[in-house]
């Protein structure tokens, strides 16, 4: 066994997103080749390991050893490789080779010609040795060759490519020689890839999957994209915005449209795209909010998801009439009603209304209230499910107490509505009426979700101007629940505002504001453990009694 790794690493680790943007000249590659007793990793064994470590076009070291497969070597394999059973008789088993090989590989990017074959044998050996699997990224020079030079050669076998391009190390079915030849091929393919704008590891990893994309020529539109968080816009022939998106790595995300996403909508989008614009953001929060604002400004026709503003509706308690009821409203009007929401759809709003009405006997009939008792009461009143005035059994003052209960439950005292729903769910479950208990739980969860969202948005809107710092990241200023600016810890002063002016909020949340407010509120929830409050103008404090959660808990692993 021979090993000469001047920069060996202790163990392979998964590369981060920042590593993926590393220039290819700074990436450490480890080219591996194995000789085996056959083609199936489950039934065959390794007879030889060869590897060479490369960086910036230079060799950093080589690794080579014969391996005792623990079984016979078929004659056809001996004819192909020249490795006999006598040669491996005193060689170490793969279990003894793995520690030194893993140290040599370290956290480099593994390269191979048909690399899946070599990795399958390595995975099988690691599993048998009860070692963790490799987490290294891998590059297949065969797949790269199909993408870059397929038109120049009859096939993409290593021997064919070595002869055609006159590589310095000819392959001969011995592990180290084949690894050296694959390393030569890698350097040639990297030169070819550079003409397509492939400059970083992330570009190289997705390049083979772009082979069949009909618009791969438009990859040049992505050349100026940085590997930073931000938003991007696809523009068409007339400059119109076709699509808006956000990304933590702009370059990798936009280039992925040319490879992994085969949806017909995406193919049409790429065909129509003539220009790709971007804006770098200082944080994922700024990117998410900017995406929402750009969507509302341009209404791109390829953005079918990402906002529900077109479907948003409100729950309305019609306080402006003598006998109020709950209804679904699509627009906000100054009619004295109590508006809750918006919520995501009409069907969801009706589910929430049904949950409230199962606790509070609000009027359900929608017709004009009869002046005499001669008219027949509505069905809900006949069944005793609602205290409708059409029954003639309740006056306006008594009904007002019912309305007040509903109003308090929908605003400051959610327990008034949620506790009876929880008790009903428990009673049904105890009686083994599980389907009804599940329906009661779903109704309670819909109501709880709506009230919790209402509460956290209201909290941010009432807080006024809030400045927070994400520990280890950056800072943000939020005014009445909407993002005003973000800046990094290294910035001397906050940058200019994001083109947004926010006065004190008046009335319920509008449908246009809902997406951004929900985005900011979700960010607060997600980053709560890392947030440091710098300043706040108003009151920013959660209620002592939180809104309960009815979502079933997953069993612990």
- Which helix (H) or strand (E) segment holds residue 521: the answer is helix 511-527
Catalytic residue among 9, 164, 169, 173: 173
Q: Is 213 part of the annotated catalytic residue set?
A: no
* Inter-helix orientation angle 158-165/141-148, to 10°: 50
The dihedral formed by the CA atoms of 541, 545, 550 and 552, expressed in degrees to the nearest 10:
80
Spell out the SS3 assignment of 9-53: CCCCCCCCHHHHCCEHHHCEEEEEEEEECCCCCCCCCEEEEEEEE
In angstroms, the CA 73 to CA 545 distance is: 72
Residue 132 has, within 13 A of its CA and on its CB side, a CA count of 7
Both tokens of 445, joined, read 């969860």
What separation, in Å, do the N-terminal and C-terminal C-alpha atoms of the chain show? 43
Nearest to 509 by CA among 499, 498, 520: 520
276 Cβ neighbours under 8 A, 6+ residues apart: 221, 222, 225, 232, 233, 234, 235, 254
Residues 6+ apart with CB under 8 A from 6: 60, 61
HEC string for 366-394 = CCCCCCCCCCCCCHHHHCCCCCCHHHCCC
CA distance 22 to 19: 5
Residues in the chain: 557
- Cα angle: 178, vertex 37, 84; to 5 degrees: 80
Residues assigned a catalytic role: 173
């Amino acid at each position: 066994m021979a090993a000469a790794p001047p920069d060996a690493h202790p163990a392979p680790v998964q590369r981060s997103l920042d590593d993926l943007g590393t220039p290819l000249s700074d990436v450490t590659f480890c080219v591996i080749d194995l000789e085996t007793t056959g083609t199936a990793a489950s039934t065959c064994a390794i007879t030889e390991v060869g590897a060479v470590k490369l960086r910036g076009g230079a060799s950093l070291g080589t690794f080579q050893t014969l391996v005792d497969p623990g079984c016979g070597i078929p004659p056809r394999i001996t004819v192909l490789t020249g490795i006999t059973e006598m040669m491996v008789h005193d060689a170490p088993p793969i279990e003894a080779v793995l520690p030194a090989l893993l140290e040599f590989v370290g956290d480099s990017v593994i390269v191979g010609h048909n690399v899946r074959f070599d990795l399958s044998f390595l995975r099988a050996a690691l599993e048998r040795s009860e070692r963790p699997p490799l987490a290294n990224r891998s590059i297949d020079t065969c797949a790269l060759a199909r993408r870059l030079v397929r038109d120049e050669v009859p096939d993409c076998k290593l021997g064919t490519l070595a002869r055609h391009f006159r590589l310095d190390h000819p392959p001969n079915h011995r592990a180290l020689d084949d690894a050296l030849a694959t390393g030569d091929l890698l350097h040639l393919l990297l030169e070819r890839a550079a003409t397509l704008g492939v400059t970083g590891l992330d570009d190289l990893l997705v390049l083979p999957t772009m082979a069949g994309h009909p618009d791969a020529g438009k990859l040049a539109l992505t050349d100026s994209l940085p590997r930073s968080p931000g938003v991007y816009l696809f523009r068409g022939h007339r400059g119109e915005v076709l699509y808006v998106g956000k990304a933590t790595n702009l370059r990798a995300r936009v280039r992925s449209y040319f490879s992994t996403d085969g949806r017909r909508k995406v193919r049409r989008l790429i065909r129509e795209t003539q220009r790709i614009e971007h804006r770098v953001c200082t944080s994922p929060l700024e990117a998410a909010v900017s995406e929402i604002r750009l969507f509302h400004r341009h209404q791109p026709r390829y953005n079918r998801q990402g906002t529900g503003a077109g479907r948003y509706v409100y729950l309305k308690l019609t306080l402006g009439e003598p006998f109020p009821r709950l209804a679904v409203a699509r627009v906000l009007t100054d009619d004295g009603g109590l508006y809750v929401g918006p919520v995501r759809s009409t069907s969801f709003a009706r589910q929430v209304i049904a949950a409230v009405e199962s606790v509070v006997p609000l009027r359900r009939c929608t017709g004009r209230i009869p002046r005499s008792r001669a008219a027949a009461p509505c069905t809900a009143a006949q069944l005793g499910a609602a205290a409708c005035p059409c029954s003639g059994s309740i006056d306006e003052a008594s009904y007002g107490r019912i309305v007040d209960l509903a109003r308090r439950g929908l605003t400051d005292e959610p327990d008034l509505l949620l506790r009876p729903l929880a008790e009903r769910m428990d009673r049904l479950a105890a009686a083994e009426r599980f389907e009804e208990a599940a329906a009661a739980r779903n109704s309670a969860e819909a109501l709880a979700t709506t009230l919790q969202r209402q509460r956290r948005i209201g909290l941010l809107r009432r807080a006024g101007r809030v400045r927070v710092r994400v520990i280890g990241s950056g800072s943000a200023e939020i005014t009445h629940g909407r993002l005003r600016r973000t800046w990094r810890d290294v910035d001397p002063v906050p940058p200019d505002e994001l083109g947004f002016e926010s006065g004190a909020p008046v009335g319920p949340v509008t449908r246009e504001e809902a997406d951004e407010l929900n985005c900011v509120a979700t960010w607060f929830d997600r980053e709560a453990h890392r947030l440091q409050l710098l300043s706040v103008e108003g009151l920013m404090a959660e209620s002592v009694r939180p809104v309960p959660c009815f979502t079933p808990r997953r069993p612990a692993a």
